[in-house]
Amino acid sequence: LLQEMSERGLPANEVTYNDLLSAKVATKDRRGMWRLVKDMRCAGIAQSSATCSILLKALTEHFHATDVSSTMELLDEMEEPIDEVLFSSVIEICIRMEQLTLLSDMMRKQGGMIALTAPTYGLMVKAYAQAHDMKWHWELWNEMCHRAVKPMAITVGCMVDAPVMNGCVED
């Protein structure tokens, strides 16, 4: 299809590539998916949050380690800033894959540039508590306070539950 479009003088745009990428993800065609990402790059079309969001959907229980690292690299290379919706998807994927180090790495790389809401902080606190990582639990709380993000009841609940489930009731 891309070749035929090109032959007819109709260059594919980001929407075309993302639609085709969605189809590759839906059919679990990982090789085709990454070939399409490569073609997209060769055509000079930068990946967007939509592209990365589509690729995140491909990271299921049958993912390959290279798919994870390649998707995270594309997120790092994105020209547009990562918004909270995309970042929430990354959080969910990292939790599902039990790879919170990827989440921690992304947070460090972003340098706190993502403006997060209280529910997103609560989700991350819960994830780190389940991973028994109380260091990140408190770092997230301190960052949230530093950014003057007002905690909601659910956020406070996650913050209180984390030390309890990790045997740190005094905290």
Distance CA 74, CA 76 (A): 5
- Work out the burial of residue 4: count CB atoms within 10 Å of its CB; fewer than 13 is exposed, 13-18 middle, 19 or more buried: exposed
pLDDT in tens, 85-118: 888 888 888 887 877 888 777 777 766 556 788 8
- Give residue 69's pLDDT: 83
Q: Which helix (H) or strand (E) holds 120?
A: helix 118-130
Q: Which helix (H) or strand (E) holds 36?
A: helix 30-42
Distance CA 101, CA 142 (A): 19
- Give residue 72's pLDDT: 86
- Give residue 85's pLDDT: 84
- Give residue 110's pLDDT: 66
The residues, ordered by sequence, that sit 6+ positions from 75 with a Cβ below 8 Å of its Cβ are 52, 82, 86, 90, 106
With tokens 């990271």, the residue in question is: 59
Half-sphere exposure of 148 (CA within 13 A, CB side): 0
The SS3 assignment for 153 reads: helix
Q: How many CB atoms lie within 10 A of CB 51?
A: 23
Query: Two tokens at 95?
Result: 């939790």
Distance CA 52, CA 169 (A): 39
Q: What is the pTM of this model?
A: 0.74
- Give residue 143's pLDDT: 85
Distance CA 31, CA 70 (A): 13
Tens digit of each residue's pLDDT, the chain (171 residues): 888 888 899 989 999 999 999 999 999 898 999 999 999 999 999 889 999 999 998 887 777 778 888 888 888 888 888 888 888 888 888 887 877 888 777 777 766 556 788 888 888 888 888 888 888 888 888 888 888 999 899 888 888 888 888 898 887
